[in-house]
Chains A and B, each alone.
Chain A
Amino acid sequence: MLELPALGWQSIVIFVVFAVSLLIATYCTYAERVIAAFLQDRVGPDRAGPYGLLQPLADAVKMFTKEEFFPGGANKALFVFGPCLAMITALMSSAVIPFGNNMSFGNNAFFLQGIEVNIGMLWVFGVVSLGVYGVMIGGWASNNKFSLLGAIRAASQNISYELAMGMSLIAVLMISGTLSLREITLQQSVAGEWQFWNIAKQPLGFIIFLVCAFAETNRTPFDLPECETELVGGYHTEYSSMKLGLYLFSEYVNIFVVSAVMSVLYFGGFNFPFQYELRDWLVSNHDWTLAGAQNLITLLGTVGLFLKIFAFIFFFMWIRWTLPRFRYDQLMRLGWTILIPLAVFNIVLTGGLILFGVI
């Protein structure tokens, strides 16, 4: 039996979360291409390995072996720092997401979560907003007007949509009364009670959050900072080799994180229907120990959460190959004159419903 202190178990969890985020982001590049192909009646990459599953490796080799180019007059330190920051912030935000409930082996009990903090949601928001600096620094350090313009577009878009996103979140916090993501998850399923996921209580808030999530991760239809078909390439025009790879990669990590956050906030996180009934049934009818049954439930819940996350990632890609890009003024009008008032209305509505005891 492994005798590790609690921190030891937790550090393993942190490492696994880190590795899994990277792995999923890697295969997002493959999924993006295959889904794009399927939506366009093609078959996508299928040459590298069975079903093209080694394509991400081939892409990585390509990225690493390309020429590393520094534009003249660029601020070298910041030029390198930009993509690093984008990647670091993207990875940091997955630390607080509860990927599963608690597990226990003998006396060792631990959460399937990097760090359990009571300000989990604030942490995610704080770190995600730092991601703008990666874009901004990269665009500014390139010593290129177009990069700078792209960076400014990215920054203003992210800041605009963060407002509506934060406000749609406040409605969730009003219901749950906590910032801890684990607490929010646990509240969405209570043993022996008929409890709905937050999506049933916050449909409007969810739609606002979803739209803002698209804008925050620079995905179509809000991919104006990049819009490779219109601009030269946005803030990463001057980037090549793996530094460009890091920017593209951080986008996929962000998609993964924001999908996880949406699953946790609105779709019950690691809960799945009839989990407590299953646990009690195992304990009473099959002589399982309570801890063993709970471990099984936790693992199943983790699988369930990942299914929810994959569904969201698929949705992100599905939207990308369906909708055309917004114009910049349309983007700003949607953010400031529609989503923010809607979010405020949602707060008032939620407040009223809580006041009259409906939810």
Chain B
Amino acid sequence: MQLTNRAKKLEKKPMTLAERAYLPAIFQGLSITMRHFFMKKATVRYPEEVRPFSAIFRGLHVLKRDEQGRERCTACGLCAVACPAEAITMVAGERKKGEEGLYREEKYAISYEINMLRCIFCGLCEEACPKAAVYLQADKMAPPRYERDEFIYGKDRLVEPVSPDERSVRGIQLTPEQADALRNKMAQV
């Protein structure tokens, strides 16, 4: 039975003298391997040399701050809902009086955790976020770790770092108490 007419009819011809002598084929093979000897090598010597990331690479997450250095995240939970791997958990809290320099909205995330072992780096959290708070960085990867619980990234490792001093440089009004509170908070994590 013939399903298609693409089948090729092969004839088993007796080998020619050159084929039977085997030597021409050897020289052909040797020339091919010699060409490869001088070709550009595919190896990237990793620690010294890093393969460049694509501009749209989706790497390690970051929780952004706004232009005044306040956390943008309002703990609405849309990223957690959007996450197909269920890697994101968060606890929402109410902003106290005097914390206006820390959190942009009245509601904020007390804790925000992403499990990098569950995360599939699809970027749906980034798309879901209404406050433009969570982004997947194009130049960072979640590095390997020895312990599984080290892969659960909390706010300490996710929030964009801004030191209290840097904030004052950027012209943000912080009362001394607020700055102390922030320093304590960062010292704790």
B39 — which chain A residues lie within 8 A by C-beta?
41
Instruction: Check: B42 CB closer than 8 A to any chain A CB.
Output: yes
Alpha-carbon gap, A49 to B106, bound state (A): 59
**Is A323 in contact with B41, judged by CB distance below 8 angstroms?**
no
Instruction: Check: A318 CB closer than 8 A to any chain B CB.
Output: yes
Chain B: how many interface residues by the 8 Å CB criterion? Answer: 15
Q: Mark A266-304, 1 if CB is under 8 A from B, else 0.
A: 000000000000000000000000000000000000000
A38 — which chain B residues lie within 8 A by C-beta?
36-37, 41
Alpha-carbon gap, A41 to B34, bound state (A): 11
**Is A323 in contact with B36, judged by CB distance below 8 angstroms?**
no
Q: Contacts A40-B36, A41-B39 given: A323-B29 contact, CB under 8 Å?
A: yes
B29 — which chain A residues lie within 8 A by C-beta?
322-323
Q: From residue 66 to 90 of chain A, which have CB atoms closer than 8 A to chain B?
A: none
Instruction: Check: B12 CB closer than 8 A to any chain A CB.
Output: no
Instruction: Check: A57 CB closer than 8 A to any chain B CB.
Output: no
Alpha-carbon gap, A207 to B26, bound state (A): 13
**Is B34 in contact with A318, judged by CB distance below 8 angstroms?**
yes
Q: Contacts A319-B30, A322-B30 given: A43-B37 contact, CB under 8 Å?
A: no
- The residue of chain A having its C-beta at the shortest distance from the C-beta of B40 within the complex is A41
Alpha-carbon gap, A300 to B37, bound state (A): 29
B27 to chain A, nearest CB (A): 10
Of A35, A43, A207, A318, the residue contacting B45 (CB under 8 A) is A43
Instruction: Check: B175 CB closer than 8 A to any chain A CB.
Output: no
Instruction: Check: B33 CB closer than 8 A to any chain A CB.
Output: yes
Alpha-carbon gap, A90 to B42, bound state (A): 37
Alpha-carbon gap, A39 to B32, bound state (A): 9
Q: Mark B121-155, 1 if CB is under 8 A from A, else 0.
A: 00000000000000000000000000000000000
Chain A: how many interface residues by the 8 Å CB criterion? Answer: 14
B3 to chain A, nearest CB (A): 34
**Is A41 in contact with B45, judged by CB distance below 8 angstroms?**
no
Of B30, B41, B42, B43, the residue contacting A318 (CB under 8 A) is B30
Alpha-carbon gap, A42 to B42, bound state (A): 6
- The residue of chain B having its C-beta at the shortest distance from the C-beta of A43 within the complex is B43
- The residue of chain A having its C-beta at the shortest distance from the C-beta of B38 within the complex is A38
- The residue of chain A having its C-beta at the shortest distance from the C-beta of B32 within the complex is A322
A40 — which chain B residues lie within 8 A by C-beta?
36
B33 — which chain A residues lie within 8 A by C-beta?
39, 318, 321-322
Q: From residue 21 to 75 of chain A, which have CB atoms closer than 8 A to chain B?
A: 35, 38-43, 46
Alpha-carbon gap, A321 to B26, bound state (A): 12
Alpha-carbon gap, A318 to B32, bound state (A): 11
Of B23, B26, B37, the residue contacting A39 (CB under 8 A) is B37
A323 — which chain B residues lie within 8 A by C-beta?
26, 29
A59 to chain B, nearest CB (A): 20
Alpha-carbon gap, A322 to B28, bound state (A): 10
Q: From residue 1 to 57 of chain B, which have CB atoms closer than 8 A to chain A?
A: 23, 26, 29-30, 32-34, 36-37, 39-43, 45
Known contacts A39-B33, A42-B43; 5 additional CB pairs below 8 A are A41-B39, A42-B42, A43-B41, A43-B43, A46-B45
The 9 closest A-B pairs by CB, nearest first: A43-B43, A322-B33, A322-B29, A39-B33, A38-B37, A43-B41, A41-B42, A42-B43, A39-B36
- Show 24 residue pairs from A and B whose CB-CB distance is below 8 angstroms, ordered by the A residue: A35-B37, A38-B36, A38-B37, A39-B33, A39-B36, A39-B37, A40-B36, A41-B36, A41-B41, A42-B41, A42-B42, A42-B43, A43-B41, A43-B43, A43-B45, A318-B30, A318-B33, A318-B34, A319-B26, A319-B30, A321-B33, A322-B29, A322-B30, A323-B29
